[in-house]
Amino acid sequence: MRSIVCLPSPLAGEGLGERGQTSGSMKKQDFAKHLRKRMTEAESILWYHLRAHRLDGQKFRRQQVIGDYVVDFVHFGTRLIVEADGGQHLESARDHQRDAWLSSQGFVVLRFWNDDILLRTDGVLEAIWQALRDAPSPPTPLPRGERGGRQ
């Protein structure tokens, strides 16, 4: 089965073919880099607030490859994914399949419409902050003397 790679329009989300797969001409990592260079206005605004630990000191990464997919923003410590969606995502079966797979991997996916990000930025940031607060804490590492194996 052959996938056709179409570079995303400025309004596109992931821009990948079926199930987020690329052809051999553009690997997932290269495609993620391409997306980082060509973020939508909504993604740029959201990234301004999420980058450099600006949201409550939390570290987010943008356009990250997870499995067969490229996610817009991810906080790996809490396994929280934030997606900025345009109209092409309205009732998308592909998005439901993608979210189900990401959830099965332990991620929580928050989706926001581009209009909400552009017009109600504070509300979107509040929802992300609340999701970070509600996320289970990662396990605390044992002190050095109590770890198994080499010390």
**Residue 11 above 60 pLDDT?**
no
Confidence grade of residue 143 (pLDDT, cut at 50, 70, 90):
confident
| Number of Cβ within a 10 Å radius of residue 12 | 16
**pTM, entire model:** 0.71
Q: Using the predicted structure, report yes or no on whether residue 28 has a pLDDT greater than 50.
A: yes
At residue 93, does pLDDT exceed 70?
Answer: yes
d(CA 31, CA 134): 32
Rounded CA gap, 65 and 110, in Å? 17
CATH classification code of 42-135: 3.40.960.10
pLDDT band per the 50, 70, 90 thresholds, residue 87: low
Q: What is the mean pLDDT of residues 98-115?
A: 95
Percent of residues, the chain, with pLDDT higher than 90: 56
